[in-house]
Chain A
Amino acid sequence: MSMTIAEKILSEKSGCEARSGRIVICNISWAIAQDGTGPLAIRRLQEAGLAKVFDPKRVIFFIDHAAPSPRKELSNAHLQIRSFAKETGARVSDIQEGVCHQRMVEEFVSPGDLLIGADSHTCTSGALGAFSTGMGSTDVAIGMALGKVWLKVPPTIRIEVRGDFRPGVYAKDLILSVIGQLTADGATYKALEFGGPTISAMSMSDRFTLCNMAVEAGAKTGLIATDEITREYLVKQGRGEQFREIAPDPDAEYEQVLTIQAEEIEPMIALPHTVDNVQPVQKVAGTKIQQVFIGTCTNGRLEDLEIAARILDGQQVAPNVRLIITPASRAIYLKAIQQGIIEKLIRAGAVVTATGCGPCVGIHQGILGDGEVCLSTQNRNFLGRMGNPEGSIYLSSPATAAYSALKGEIADPREIMK
């Protein structure tokens, strides 16, 4: 019987033929939570008298959303996490380490794994050929204690991409375009599987960006088959032996196949206040902005900072714009320093913050003022997302964000990337 990637991994993890639509109980490889959802997961376990973890190495708490803590209530939530981890042996990735999804792909997830995380962007790890999905504190708490989860095997939408991107167009433009086409609930309960020659030629950094945003179309996970690029990435991370071939069968059944020509994609932007409100950047060029944010689990990787530095090198951010840069992990931050990227960004007028989720979740480090407009490389632009329902958020690639920061208004990066 031929299967999609989702069906293959869930069959292996449940020990039965996991056809789309079937409900299965699976053994998980990892259960993770962050400082916004972890304390509730811990409380659920303590209240139920289940304060244990199935495998201390495979249960990880990330302190990334409010890192370092801006308030005593959050400092106390952090204490609660550290104390539970000490009691049970679970791991803690503390304030200096970075965003959970970036950390998972750097150090932990291998192809074929099943990861559940109390954070909706857990789907990022799907780019390594792992079934990874976001859930709430209760599901993840039970996963932490028992090492199991129940799942309905999702049908799959195949996103088949062919051809080459034109200069100034990136993976972020592709995924915004896909979400615009599918809409914010077009893939609800389903898996997105990205493939085709364009995806095969794509860096891991770009693949993470694609899978990260699968949930913005409602999807349960985003998945990409493994290949030589996956292997090279794992080797570079010192985990080459964890490589495994994960691929759909050639005649796997898809609910829908969406074929996209990369040449036809322009720089895209999501307008306030939904992620599927997508237009070509040119349509809103000239819109004044007060803040630009480059970072997050979507686009805070070394390659993203590099693109921004290339555009900003030797120039100055527009006078009325604040440019905030947040590397997605300590490893990325360090490399960006070693490669001179951070210096270029700071000289151009950027403020570079500690690694973490930063302003994206509206907790600290860049909350918008009333009536302000922010252009961000993050994955969500919901009303109030960046801490103020009187502010507006647009979403774009790092290139569009950096070039717009120079111009002081939304601008198409193709003007300088011919």
Chain B
Amino acid sequence: MILEGRAKKFGDNISTDLIAPGRLFHLRNNLPELAKHLLEDAEPNFSEKIQKGDFIVAGRNFGLGSSREHAPAIIKIAGIGAVLAQSVARIFFRNAINIGLPVFECDTSQIEAEDHLRINVLQGTVENLTKGISLPFHPLPQIMVDILNDGGLMPHIQKYGGFNL
């Protein structure tokens, strides 16, 4: 799988409260509407600046905090192709893979805003085409690759009638 897009850069400790704010709790049953507010407290009007396939590129501990799966869900709905971060919080990581949003941990300090990136999922590399460098990322555990290949955890369960991991 090859993914290509531009980098949308964020800092460390981007919490799920920033991704999907609690004050918009009433929009949780309307994810396309909630997606219009994606990360707006970190960057005003962010959802309007996304081109389909863009990547969120962040620092340490991306997605910390609440277990709200709405956070990765609206990232995907807003058109983001994958999340790259120095490190990712545990619940967010699982939620993202479960709904079929690819997440990779790599050295994002080598990526600047708007850099053009190409992710080779099988090789485990992010090519920064703007800078002409290649960054390796930690391969996903096999169990998560299997879930992603099935399109998420629910399709996996439907396909096998239970866990086949």
A77 interfacial by beta-carbon distance below 8 Å: yes
Q: A22-46 interface mask toward B, CB cutoff 8 Å, 1 = contact, 0 = none?
A: 0101000000000011011000100
The 7 closest A-B pairs by CB, nearest first: A136-B69, A362-B22, A136-B95, A73-B26, A185-B61, A382-B15, A389-B41
> How far, in whole Å, are A137 and B162 apart by their CA atoms in the complex?
17
B90 in complex: contacting residue of A119, A142, A218, CB < 8 Å: A218
Smallest CB separation, B98 vs chain A (Å):
4
Chain B, interface residues (CB within 8 Å), range:
35 or more
Smallest CB separation, B159 vs chain A (Å):
11
Say whether A119 contacts B18, CB under 8 Å.
Answer: no
B45 interfacial by beta-carbon distance below 8 Å: no
Say whether B23 contacts A367, CB under 8 Å.
Answer: yes
Which positions in A face B, CB cutoff 8 Å?
Answer: 23, 25, 36-37, 39-40, 44, 47-50, 65-66, 71, 73-74, 76-77, 80, 117-120, 122, 134-139, 141-142, 146, 148, 150, 152, 184-185, 188-189, 218, 220, 274, 361-363, 367, 380, 382-385, 387-389
Q: Spot the interface stretch: B50-58, B116-124, B149-157.
A: B149-157
13 A–B pairs (Cβ distance < 8 Å), ordered by A: A25-B165, A37-B67, A73-B29, A120-B66, A135-B94, A146-B163, A185-B64, A185-B87, A188-B89, A362-B22, A383-B18, A384-B23, A385-B17
Residue from the set B13, B60, B73 with the largest chain A CB neighbour count within 10 Å: B13
A148-B162 CB under 8 A given contacts A136-B69, A185-B64: yes
> How far, in whole Å, are A382 and B30 apart by their CA atoms in the complex?
24
Return the chain B residue nearest A41 by Cβ: B69
Which positions in B face A, CB cutoff 8 Å?
Answer: 13, 15, 17-18, 21-23, 25-30, 41, 60-61, 64-70, 72-73, 87, 89-91, 94-95, 98-99, 141, 143, 152-154, 157-158, 162-163, 165
Say whether B69 contacts A387, CB under 8 Å.
Answer: no
Smallest CB separation, B88 vs chain A (Å):
8
> How far, in whole Å, are A65 and B66 apart by their CA atoms in the complex?
13
In the complex, chain A residues whose CB is within 8 Å of the CB of B18: 382-384
Say whether A184 contacts B68, CB under 8 Å.
Answer: no
A150-B68 CB under 8 A given contacts A185-B89, A218-B90, A384-B17: no
Say whether B143 contacts A150, CB under 8 Å.
Answer: yes
In the complex, chain A residues whose CB is within 8 Å of the CB of B22: 361-363, 384-385, 387
Say whether A136 contacts B23, CB under 8 Å.
Answer: no
In the complex, chain A residues whose CB is within 8 Å of the CB of B41: 383-384, 389
Return the chain A residue nearest B62 by Cβ: A185
Say whether A134 contacts B91, CB under 8 Å.
Answer: yes
In the complex, chain B residues whose CB is within 8 Å of the CB of A382: 15, 17-18, 65
Q: Apart from A150-B143, A384-B18, A385-B22, what are 14 other A-B pairs with CB-CB below 8 Å?
A: A48-B158, A50-B158, A65-B25, A73-B26, A73-B30, A77-B28, A119-B66, A134-B67, A135-B94, A185-B61, A218-B61, A218-B90, A383-B18, A384-B21
